[in-house]
């Protein structure tokens, strides 16, 4: 049976092992998690152009983690802790997010990706947390609306972020919280399947059934959208 095609906008890397130039990259753990769930992960080159036409092949869109969203995208001020901003990356990710939401294409957004969706829908971000969640595993409380996917009311998740969602975008609801109040998952009143998680489910998807279920639900939705 044909695998659902999952478009993953590449991340722009300054260097990559065995490559002589800047690289378009996708995290191997992320691609592996999509593939293990039955999807076909396809990295998409990031550049300005007709995003709708370029992504028309996709059964689902996955917005991955990465560098910070440029503060000017949501009315924020420059900050010394902001890193790896890229205007072209922001433009592509924001445009792709709006396209998927508008066309009801199943959308899974991870870490930076969840922040992108919130900004795309008019929300904003806290530019730098007082106590960043970097290289930590934390428990999060799962809202009832998300429990059918996660399969639990509380789960441990792998986090790496120094920013977090502040004001929620239009139609966006918080679907999980960390003990310090950080919004760790979002859902939205869209016509299609959508989930944004601030944590990195790909880190533990090979060993944690709750994280594996995130990718399983997403790929299943993508397969049903054809």
Q: Which domains does the chain have, with CATH numbers?
A: 5-224 (3.40.50.880)
- Catalytic annotation, pick one of 133, 200, 210, 220: 200
- Catalytic annotation, pick one of 111, 161, 184, 210: 111
- In this predicted structure, what is the pLDDT of residue 189? 82
Choose among 176, 172, 214, 167: nearest CA to 189: 172
Q: Please state the rounded mean pLDDT for residues 138-155.
A: 98
- Catalytic annotation, pick one of 133, 159, 161, 202: 202
- In this predicted structure, what is the pLDDT of residue 209? 98
Q: Please give the C-alpha separations between residue 3 and each of 88, 158, 207, in angstroms, as whole numbers.
A: 30, 27, 22
d(CA 223, CA 5): 8
pLDDT higher than 80, residue 18: no
For residue 174, give every residue at least 6 positions away whose Cβ sits within 8 Å of its Cβ, in sequence order, or none: 143, 165, 168, 183, 185, 186
pLDDT more than 90, % of the chain: 84
- pTM for the model stands at 0.96
Does the annotation count 48 as an active-site position? no
Contact 100, 192 (CB under 8 A): yes
d(CA 180, CA 162): 13
- In this predicted structure, what is the pLDDT of residue 105? 97
d(CA 100, CA 59): 10
For residue 7, give every residue at least 6 positions away whose Cβ sits within 8 Å of its Cβ, in sequence order, or none: 42, 44, 55, 57, 58, 60, 61, 62, 96
Phi, psi of 134 (to 5 degrees): -115, 125
Any idea what the Cα angle at residue 149 is, between residues 178 and 33, rounded to 5°?
90
Paired tokens of 170 = 């239009």
Does the annotation count 177 as an active-site position? no
Contact 172, 186 (CB under 8 A): yes
- In this predicted structure, what is the pLDDT of residue 2? 93
Does the annotation count 202 as an active-site position? yes
């Amino acid at each position: 049976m044909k695998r659902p095609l999952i478009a993953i906008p590449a991340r722009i890397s300054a260097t990559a092992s065995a490559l002589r130039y800047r690289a378009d990259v996708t995290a191997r753990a992320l691609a592996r998690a999509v593939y293990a769930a039955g999807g076909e992960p396809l990295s998409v080159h990031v550049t300005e152009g007709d995003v709708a036409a370029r992504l028309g092949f996709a059964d689902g869109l996955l917005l991955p983690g990465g560098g910070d969203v440029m503060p000017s995208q949501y009315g924020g001020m420059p900050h010394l802790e902001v890193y790896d901003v890229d205007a072209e990356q922001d433009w592509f990710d924001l445009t792709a997010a709006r396209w998927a939401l508008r066309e009801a294409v199943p959308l899974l957004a991870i870490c930076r990706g969840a922040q992108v969706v919130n900004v795309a829908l008019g929300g904003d971000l806290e530019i730098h947390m007082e106590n960043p969640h970097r290289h930590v595993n934390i428990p999060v409380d799962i809202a009832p609306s998300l429990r059918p996917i996660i399969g639990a009311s509380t789960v441990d998740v792998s986090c790496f972020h120094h920013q977090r969602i502040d004001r929620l975008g239009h139609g966006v609801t918080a679907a999980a919280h960390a003990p310090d109040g950080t919004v760790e998952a979002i859902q939205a009143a869209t016509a299609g399947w959508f989930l944004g998680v601030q944590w990195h489910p790909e880190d533990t998807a090979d060993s944690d059934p709750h994280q594996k279920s995130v990718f399983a639900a997403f790929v299943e939705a993508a397969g049903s959208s054809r």
